Amino acid sequence: MDHKAELPPHVLIFPFPAQGHVNAMLKLAELLCLGGLHVTFLITPGIHRRLLLHANVQSRFETYTGFRFESLPEELPGGNPHSADRLMQLYYALNIAAKPFLRRFLVSSRLGDDSRRRPVTCIIADGILSLALEIAQDVGTPIIFFRTISACAFWSYFCIPELIKAGELPLNGDDMDALVANVRGMEGFLRRRDLPSFCRIADLGGHDFQMVLNETQQTPRAQGLILNTFEDLEAPILSQIRTACPKLYTIGPLHSHLKARLREKRKLQSTSSNSLLQEDRSCLRWLDEQPPKSVIYVSFGSIAIMTPDQRMEFWHGLVNSGKRFLWVIRPDSVPGKDGEQHGSTELEKGTKERGYMVGWAPQEEVLAHPAIGGFLTHSGWNSTLESIVEGVPMICWPYFADQQINSRFVGEVWKLGEDMKDTCDRVTVEKMVNELMDVKKDHFTKSADEMANLAAKSLSEGGSSYSNLDRLIQDITLMVVAS
């Protein structure tokens, strides 16, 4: 008898190589390791280097003997993307480079002579990498997709063919506040401006639009779909998704799920950082000196960029609000400007008195800090979940892709803050910061606390995300590779 059959199942996790995707999928990798599975995490050499340099992956994963990183053979153009354009460039390059590598890897894992690991028994691929589906089906390895966006965003992508059929796409005319009728479950509140940013085009034949459309339509072909969300947050939309993808595993919020399971196993460790940039921890010391719930945290994630004018509007709005603020400005987030752009004496003075700026922050720890009272965010899905878990109300300034729809749900459906979409003039910024931190503070804090409690409930033993992760591990254990 083959002794390898006695070994744990072996999962190959293949994320799209960008911060938000790698972050969520590495948390899943650690959860699967805790569940006793063996995991290979496939990544570009550049992302691997950055993780080793800036995150605590080495010390965390050396405790799991069944875990290993595997690097794709070469660096890709557009690697470590900082803007939407470079993201697309990376996507196309990855499609060319990863296909032959993945096929070779799966075949040689079967022939391999590593007596401590089974051949790959299941692939968990990023839901925008359907290249993995083709190869998995060719070689007979079961595959599950993990889409790292919200359920509401996924469902709106999935309904794009309906929108085209009904004549709602391409968008006609300038009325961006007109309601959209053909995303089932979102009638009555979804406006044109809330559709994924890819929909704001006149020509539906464009590569990028077609890519998003086609990738999403492949999802039901996999054995299952994992979403980083929880039932109480997105129940009505999840039931829509189940009509197309019945094998759905909602196991989020993953970062918090991981913490809960580590506690359960009495594995004490500091935050599981998956940062690709150097965290400036001095902001935590600054926060220690601020009163409770007095600081608005401002960060637009790893990809969003802004013009120099937009930066100045935010800066004026924040200083004019009179509130304390912690602002993450990545060095590459304001293209076209070399060096620091200085503000007026008044701006500099207001910032010195009440503000703190860093290039990259330990965000999970920042949002958990008692001094934080609000989050001005780009509505990336990881950031949104991190805010929800900590009960921190949000002001949303979405940049692209799923962020437009996430921010609509935050403002209109979950009532967890305000949607500032499509504008950032200083008067609006000042007004919204004051509303969030002052005028409507109690109102937003109450709904944010309630949602944080529901998130925690989903992660406790018997809760939906907790049970769904167990079910996922069980289903992976039962998977059989075709011979």
Q: By CB under 6 A, name the binding residues for ligand UDP.
A: 19-20, 23, 275, 299, 301-303, 328, 360-361, 363-364, 380-383, 386
Least Cβ distance, residue 114 to ligand UDP (angstroms): 33
Pairing of strands 394-396, 372-377: parallel
Least Cβ distance, residue 480 to ligand UDP (angstroms): 34
Which regions of 385-448 does DSSP assign to beta strands (E)?
394-396, 417-419
Q: Which is nearer to ligand UDP, 320 or 406 (CB)?
A: 406
Q: Which residues contact 85 (CB under 8 A, 6 or more apart)?
A: none
Q: Residue 392 and residue 449: Cα distance in Å, rounded?
A: 8
Q: Which is nearer to ligand UDP, 10 or 21 (CB)?
A: 21
Q: Which is nearer to ligand UDP, 209 or 360 (CB)?
A: 360
CA atoms within 13 A on the CB side of 98: 28
Check 38, 82, 126, 194 and give the catalytic one: 126
Q: Residue 320 and residue 27: Cα distance in Å, rounded?
A: 39
Q: Residue 386 and residue 395: Cα distance in Å, rounded?
A: 14
| Strand partners for 224 | 144
Q: Which is nearer to ligand UDP, 109 or 333 (CB)?
A: 333
Under a CB-based contact definition with an 8 Å cutoff, are residues 371 and 294 in contact?
yes
Least Cβ distance, residue 136 to ligand UDP (angstroms): 25
Q: Which is nearer to ligand UDP, 54 or 293 (CB)?
A: 54
Q: Residue 76 and residue 94: Cα distance in Å, rounded?
A: 7
Element (H, E) at 357: strand 355-358
Least Cβ distance, residue 387 to ligand UDP (angstroms): 9
User: DSSP readout, 146-183?
Assistant: EE-S-HHHHHHHHTHHHHHHTT-SS--SS-TTSBP--S
Quick check: is 126 catalytic? yes
Q: Residue 383 and residue 402: Cα distance in Å, rounded?
A: 12
Q: Which is nearer to ligand UDP, 153 or 180 (CB)?
A: 153
Tell me if residue 446 falls in helix, strand or coil.
Answer: helix
Least Cβ distance, residue 23 to ligand UDP (angstroms): 5
Q: Which residue of the chain is nearest ligand UDP when measured via CB?
A: 380
Q: Which is nearer to ligand UDP, 186 or 385 (CB)?
A: 385
Residues listed for the chain: 483
Under a CB-based contact definition with an 8 Å cutoff, are residues 370 and 338 in contact?
no
483 CB-contact burial (10 Å; exposed 0-12 / middle 13-18 / buried 19+): exposed
CA atoms within 13 A on the CB side of 228: 31
Least Cβ distance, residue 382 to ligand UDP (angstroms): 3
Least Cβ distance, residue 281 to ligand UDP (angstroms): 11
Please list the active-site residues.
21, 126
